[in-house]
């Protein structure tokens, strides 16, 4: 049958375009609507939706390190030097040229009282462009051809009182759609990176393990530095075997954790030398550089290639077999760069394939994503970095391409707070709590830590533990966790935020934080009788008995 | 047998729970939840434990569902007995405010812990008090049911609150609190953050609802100040009940909070408490009969405004 000259079948309207066919319907929800559909043909980039813009919009970048913040669209410029562009490449965007020349927001975009977003990114890359006072929602299918109908990424429109509650509702719908099953455990640990960087030695690891007693870490994670090369994931000279590394960490009752960049291959690695056919290429058949780091060109693994899939599987199975059970997987965007692959599928589908292999190989272990496209990673990772790298300095300047800076990192920790506990555990990046060998003053150190705690994020410390350390800040931070958090102030430009956490370990807490003036205040709840729980399993029938009694630990 | 069965005529699940296990023999007049008697061998302050004869069990037996008309499912859930104090001869109205405050924390913690199980969709905290509502054990205690499905009245509440939100962009209970404050005809007790009233739409003669004034979705979101006032209001309401006809007043106390682990928005759910009682006067009972049971439509023989006036006028000394 037809309605207004559109074919209508089983609750779907059908549109015929030159290069594709699209079926769609609209589902009403209490806060707005969801548009669902199916597509076939060679759709390339499809426009789904258009609406007016406001002067102030809340935008979001596709991956971990990118910015989430409000912008004045009349006063928005990207300042990226040519040199930086050539190094960052796809880390700034899956389609860098498009991103450089336009105002782009990936996955969702917000106004003070509306959110427009996509619920998944399984095949296409969903994004918004602001042009001529309109915002336009697109799905990019790259050059993929579909013989049969496939589901499009559902689009959601939400209307309400304020952007913060709408972002929380958006996060809920994304969760309902993806149904991620991630770890219930929100880890606490130590990482080597923000003290040692690539100069970490085995001796320093041993030293810090010995000094770590009393911090009650759960994970001890060795970051970038231990490996032979990017792509050659075996210990370099000066390090013992993976098994010995893991056993040593186990001796201290920590879960052994390690860093790697599984989709990345450097120009000096053995993988590069031996397997150029494993790498993503351009139309002319030349290898594509995904980014430049470690002063090397980094290529991207083609995760659709059966041999690559085998290689990935083997890496993780081998690490697991040797006792590694916490994986920080970094520079993941490399798995999603556009280009030619063994199979003609979209870069997002290729990324999904790669992540599926890693998730399956590490079943039950903790996967922390980093440098990762956000929506496509939901359901694969247990934790996710949601900010640019922190750094031993804090510069409250504002360019729209971030660099390693504690200020940018902390701002994203706040502006992406709503993802936490729904899609994964947010990783605010490591806390550096030393007061020597670092630039930030103690106020910044406290502010960074307490914001991370009150937002119930993953807490990792990164310090040489032989230095002077604000140990009190570490333990205070842990006390602030465990609550449900809400933020106010995302649409303001003054970087002043109010955070409320309900039911933390020490009750309800309010925090005000001014990122520019570097000021914060914490308001604790009034005194209340605290109780301790002791759970006992009855022998004969296995029933649980939960005994509660007043605790006088509430000092 | 422990399973649940689906009624496609009403869309409800019925829990079948028949136990062949014998109830343990206890000497007459001894209390199974007093310290050192049966269930709780040691001294305690407060305790919540899994029911000996539960209608829902975490490790419920698997059921084979081989019919698409007569549908059965596993009764996977948790039923707990929630003991308020070790003092046998107390009750909510007699307990110290501090003990009630601790009890509120226990209710919050039970909710938080049980909601972390993905199979739990609804946590219902309640108390049956008095022979008239079938409570045989006088020791101060309540219960909780952690359901693997949304019970019919919860579904109805969700649907109505969702509809209200969809049409008005507000929460129905927040709107009611504003309106009741303006009218001030049915309020029986009020603090800065809590309000107790006989609702405009009371189904039972002396029905009382307690609403936190702030929009919170579950008991564990209450602030310490709100919890303190909640403890106070619970004590006032139960004392007013006892003073109403100068007799231990039978009641059912029921907590309603948002569902958990369902793939639907729940932010419009406003945590609230309902007290209902079969009493319609001294020694007079309103029986639940055909109209109420068959149609879920209620006839209230007492004007809510009149009930509120009577309850307001009961002086309590706490
Ligand atoms: Zn007793
Ligand atoms: Zn409300």
CB B51 within 8 A of CB B79: yes
Count of helices and strands (H, E) across chain B? 6, 14
Residue B30 sits at the chain A interface (C-beta within 8 Å): no
Q: Map tokens 């990772």 to a residue.
A: A381
Across the beta sheet with A103-106, what order do the strands follow? A45-52, A134-140, A125-131, A103-106
Mean per-residue pLDDT, B285-299 = 93
To the nearest whole angstrom, how far is the Cα of B156 from the nearest Cα of chain A? 15
Distance B140 CA to ligand 1 centre (A): 8
With CB atoms and an 8 Å threshold, state whether B46 touches A547.
Answer: yes
Q: Which two tokens stand for residue A3?
A: 């309605």
Residue B234 CA to residue B254 CA, distance in Å, equals 12
Cα distance between residue A156 and residue A110, in whole Å: 12
| Shortest alpha-carbon distance between residue A505 and chain B (Å) | 11
Q: Which of A79-93, A280-294, B260-274 has the lowest mean pLDDT?
A: A79-93
How would you label A198-218 residue by residue, b for 16+ Cβ within 10 Å and e otherwise?
eebebebbeebbebbeebebb
Cβ contact B223–A502 (<8 Å): yes
For residue B83, the ligand closest to its alpha carbon is 1
ipTM over 0.90: yes
pLDDT exceeds 70 at position A326: yes
* CA trace torsion A348, A349, A354, A358 (10° rounding): 100
CB-based contact (8 Å) between B263 and chain A? yes
A547 interfaces chain B, CB cutoff of 8 Å = yes
For residue B88, the ligand closest to its alpha carbon is 1
pLDDT of residue B317: 87
Report DSSP state, residue A431.
B
Q: Which residues contact B158 (CB under 8 A, 6 or more apart)?
A: B150, B259, B264, B266, B269
pLDDT class of B26 with cuts at 50, 70, 90: confident
Q: Which of B83, B225, B194 is nearest to A546 (CA)?
A: B83
**Ligand 1 centroid to residue B86 C-alpha, Å:** 7
Range 94-113 of B in CB contact (< 8 A) with A: 98, 101-102, 105-106, 108-110, 112-113
CA of B296 to the centre of ligand 2 (A): 25
Q: Do A531 and B227 touch (CB under 8 A)?
A: no
Question: What does the pLDDT read at residue B20?
Answer: 67
Average pLDDT over residues A268-273: 98
Distance of alpha carbon A363 from alpha carbon A358, whole angstroms: 8
Does the beta carbon of B269 lie under 8 angstroms from any beta carbon of chain A?
no
Q: How far is CA A300 from CA A278, A555, B22, B48, B160, in A?
A: 8, 53, 67, 55, 52
For residue A160, list chain B residues with Cβ-Cβ distance below 8 A: 169
DSSP character for A153? P
Q: Is the pLDDT of residue A553 over 80?
A: no
Tokens at B286, concatenated: 């309103």
* Percentage above 90 pLDDT, chain A: 92
Residue of A28, A172, A548 lying closest to B265 (CB–CB): A172
3 state DSSP class of A539: coil
Please judge whether A531 and B162 are an interchain contact, meaning their C-beta atoms are less than 8 angstroms apart: no
Residues of B with CB below 8 A from A28's CB? 166
Residue with tokens 């550089």: A289
pLDDT of residue B25: 78
B79 close contact with A: CB closer than 8 A: no
Output DSSP code: residue B174.
Answer: H
In tens, the pLDDT along B216-227 reads 999 999 999 999
Answer whether B215 touches A (CB < 8 Å): no
A523 touching chain B per CB within 8 A: no
pLDDT band per the 50, 70, 90 thresholds, residue A336:
very high
Check: CB of residue B277 under 8 Å from CB of residue B251.
yes
User: Pick from B218, B217, B270, B165: which is nearest to A158 by CA?
Assistant: B165
CA of B67 to the centre of ligand 2 (A): 42
Ligand number with the minimum distance to the CA of B30: 1
Q: Which has the closest alpha carbon to B193: B213, B172, B168, B178?
A: B213
**Chain A CA closest to residue B220:** A503
Contact A531 B223 (CB under 8 A): no
- Decide if pLDDT at A555 tops 50: no
pLDDT score recorded for residue B157? 98
Cβ–Cβ pairs < 8 A, chains A and B: 97
pLDDT for the residue numbered A552: 67
Domain ranges of chain A: 19-178
In contact, B215 and B107? CB cutoff 8 Å = no
Which of B47, B223, B224 is nearest residue A545 as measured by Cβ atoms?
B47
Using the Cα atoms of residue A471, residue A475, residue A478 and residue A480 in order, give the sign of their dihedral.
negative
CATH no. of B2-312: 3.30.428.10
Q: Hey, is the C-beta of B116 within 8 angstroms of any chain A C-beta?
A: yes
B169 neighbourhood in chain A, CB within 8 Å: 159-161
**Considering chain A, what is the average pLDDT of its residues?**
96
**Which residues lie closer than 8 Å to A111 by C-beta, 6 or more apart?**
A53, A54, A56, A57, A58, A163
Buried b (16+ CB within 10 A) or exposed e, A356-375: ebbbebbeebbbbbbbbbbb
Averaged pLDDT, B123-152: 96
Please name which ligand lies nearest the alpha carbon of B195.
2
Say yes or no: B82 contacts chain A, CB-CB below 8 A. no
Residues of A designated catalytic: 330, 389
Bridge-based pairing of strands A296-300 and A425-427 is unpaired
CA-nearest of B305, B310, B286 to B201 is: B305
Reported confidence tier of residue A247, pLDDT bands at 50, 70, 90: very high
Task: Give the residue from chain A lying closest to B99, CA to CA.
Answer: A529
How many angstroms away from the CA of B50 is the closest CA of chain A? 6
**3-state SS assignment for residue B25:** coil
Nearest-ligand number for the alpha carbon of B268: 2
pLDDT tens by residue, A410-457: 999 999 999 999 999 999 999 999 998 888 899 999 999 999 999 999
Mean predicted lDDT score pLDDT of chain B:
95
Overall average pLDDT of the B177-184 stretch? 93
Residue pair A460/A427 in contact (Cβ under 8 Å)? The answer is: yes
Contact between chains at B227 and A169 (C-beta distance less than 8 A)? no
Q: How far is the CA of B238 from the centre of ligand 1 (A)?
A: 20
Identify the pLDDT of residue A554. 46
Chain A residues with CB-CB distance to B107 below 8 A: none
Which residue from A172, A508, A548 is facing B224, i.e. has the nearest CB?
A: A508
Touching check for A30 and chain B: CB below 8 Å?
Answer: yes
- The average pLDDT across A228-248 equals 98
- Residues recorded for chain A: 555
Most A CBs within 10 Å: which of B262, B267, B268, as the mutation test of the A interface?
B267
Q: Which of B45, B50, B166 sits opposite A550 (nearest CB)?
A: B45
Whether B168 contacts chain A with CB within 8 A:
no
Tell me which ligand sits closest to the C-alpha of residue B177.
Answer: 2
Residue B52 contacts A, CB cutoff 8 Å: yes
> Nearest residue on chain A to B82, judged by CA atoms?
A546
pLDDT number for residue B102:
97
Smallest CA–CA distance, residue A111 to chain B, in Å, is: 17
**Structure token digits, residue A419:** 């993802």
* Chain B CB within 8 Å of residue A169 CB: yes
**Full-model pTM:** 0.96
- Taking an 8 Å cut-off on Cβ atoms, the answer to whether A546 and B220 are in contact is no
**Please, are residues B205 and B301 in contact by the beta-carbon 8 Å criterion?**
yes
Chain B within 8 Å of A534 (Cβ-Cβ)? no
Q: How many whole angstroms from A249 Cα to the centroid of ligand 2?
A: 50
Other C-beta atoms within 10 Å of A134: how many? 11
């Amino acid at each position: 049958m037809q309605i207004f000259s559109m074919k209508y079948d089983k609750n779907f309207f059908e549109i015929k375009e030159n290069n594709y066919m699209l079926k769609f319907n609209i589902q009403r929800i209490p806060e707005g609507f969801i548009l669902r559909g199916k597509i076939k043909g060679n759709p390339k980039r499809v426009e789904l939706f258009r609406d007016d813009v406001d002067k102030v919009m809340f935008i979001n970048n596709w991956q971990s390190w990118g910015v989430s913040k409000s912008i004045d669209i009349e006063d928005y410029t990207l300042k990226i030097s040519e040199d930086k562009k050539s190094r960052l490449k796809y880390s700034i965007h899956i389609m860098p040229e498009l991103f450089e020349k336009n105002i782009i927001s990936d996955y969702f975009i917000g106004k003070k009282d509306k959110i427009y977003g996509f619920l998944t990114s399984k095949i296409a890359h969903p994004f918004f462009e602001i042009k001529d006072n309109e915002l336009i929602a697109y799905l990019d299918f790259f050059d993929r051809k579909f013989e049969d109908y496939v589901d499009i990424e559902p689009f959601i429109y939400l209307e309400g009182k304020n952007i913060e509650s709408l972002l929380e509702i958006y996060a809920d719908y994304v969760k309902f759609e993806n149904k991620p099953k991630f770890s219930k455990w929100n880890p606490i640990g130590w990482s080597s990176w923000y003290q040692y960087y690539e100069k970490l030695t085995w001796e320093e690891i041993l030293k810090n393990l010995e000094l770590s007693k009393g911090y009650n870490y759960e994970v001890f994670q060795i970051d970038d530095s231990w490996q032979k090369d990017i792509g050659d994931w075996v210990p370099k000279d000066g390090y013992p075997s993976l098994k010995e590394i893991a056993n040593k960490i186990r001796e201290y009752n920590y879960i052994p954790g390690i860093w790697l960049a599984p989709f990345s291959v450097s120009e000096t690695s053995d993988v590069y030398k031996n397997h150029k056919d494993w790498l993503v290429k351009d139309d002319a058949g030349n290898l594509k550089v995904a980014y430049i780091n470690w002063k090397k060109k980094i290529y991207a693994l083609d995760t659709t290639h059966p041999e690559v899939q085998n290689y990935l599987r083997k890496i993780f199975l081998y690490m697991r077999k040797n006792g590694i059970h916490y994986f920080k997987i970094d520079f993941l965007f490399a798995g999603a760069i556009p280009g030619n692959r063994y199979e003609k599928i979209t870069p997002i589908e290729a990324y999904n394939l790669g992540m599926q292999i890693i998730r399956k190989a590490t079943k039950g272990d903790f996967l922390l994503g980093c440098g990762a496209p956000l929506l496509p990673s939901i359901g694969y990772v247990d934790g996710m970095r949601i900010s640019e790298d922190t750094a031993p300095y804090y510069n409250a300047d504002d360019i729209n391409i971030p660099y390693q800076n504690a200020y940018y990192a902390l701002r994203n920790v706040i502006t992406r707070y709503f993802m936490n506990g729904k899609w994964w555990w947010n990783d605010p990046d490591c806390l550096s709590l030393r007061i020597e060998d670092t630039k930030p003053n103690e106020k910044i150190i406290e502010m960074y830590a307490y914001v991370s705690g009150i937002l119930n994020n993953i807490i990792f410390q990164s310090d040489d533990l032989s230095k002077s350390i604000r140990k009190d800040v570490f333990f205070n931070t842990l006390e602030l966790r465990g609550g449900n958090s809400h933020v106010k102030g995302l649409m303001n430009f003054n970087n002043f935020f109010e955070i409320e956490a309900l039911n933390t370990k020490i009750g309800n807490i309010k925090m005000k934080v001014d990122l520019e003036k570097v000021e914060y205040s914490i308001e604790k709840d009034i005194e209340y009788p605290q109780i301790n729980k002791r759970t006992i399993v009855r022998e004969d029938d296995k029933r649980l008995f939960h005994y509660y009694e007043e605790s006088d630990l509430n000092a | 047998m422990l399973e649940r069965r689906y009624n496609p005529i009403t869309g409800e699940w019925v829990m079948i729970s028949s136990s062949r296990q014998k109830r343990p023999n206890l000497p007459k007049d001894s209390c199974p939840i007093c310290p050192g008697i049966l269930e709780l061998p040691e001294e305690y302050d407060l305790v919540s434990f899994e029911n000996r004869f539960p209608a829902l069990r975490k490790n419920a037996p698997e059921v084979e569902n081989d019919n698409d008309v007569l549908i059965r499912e596993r009764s996977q859930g948790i039923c707990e007995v929630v003991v308020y104090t070790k003092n046998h001869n107390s009750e909510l109205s007699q307990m110290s405010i501090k003990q009630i405050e601790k009890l509120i924390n226990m209710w919050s913690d039970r909710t938080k812990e049980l909601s972390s199980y993905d199979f739990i969709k609804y946590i219902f905290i309640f108390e049956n008090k008095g022979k008239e509502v079938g409570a045989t054990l006088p020791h101060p205690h309540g219960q909780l049911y952690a359901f693997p499905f949304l019970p019919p009245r919860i579904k109805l509440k969700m649907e109505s609150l969702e509809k209200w939100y969809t049409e008005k962009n507000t929460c129905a209970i927040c709107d009611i609190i504003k309106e009741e404050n303006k009218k001030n005809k049915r309020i029986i007790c009020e603090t800065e953050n809590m309000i107790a009233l006989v609702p405009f739409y009371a189904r039972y003669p002396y029905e009382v609802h307690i609403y936190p004034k702030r929009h919170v979705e579950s008991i564990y979101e209450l602030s310490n100040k709100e919890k303190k006032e909640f403890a106070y209001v619970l004590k006032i309401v139960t004392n007013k009940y006892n003073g109403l006809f100068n007799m231990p007043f039978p009641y059912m106390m029921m907590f309603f909070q948002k569902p958990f682990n369902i793939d639907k928005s729940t932010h419009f759910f406003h945590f609230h408490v309902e007290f209902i009682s079969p009493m319609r006067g001294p020694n007079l009972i309103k029986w639940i009969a055909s109209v109420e049971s068959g149609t879920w439509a209620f006839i209230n023989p007492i004007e809510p405004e009149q009930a509120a006036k009577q309850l307001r006028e009961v002086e309590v000394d706490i």
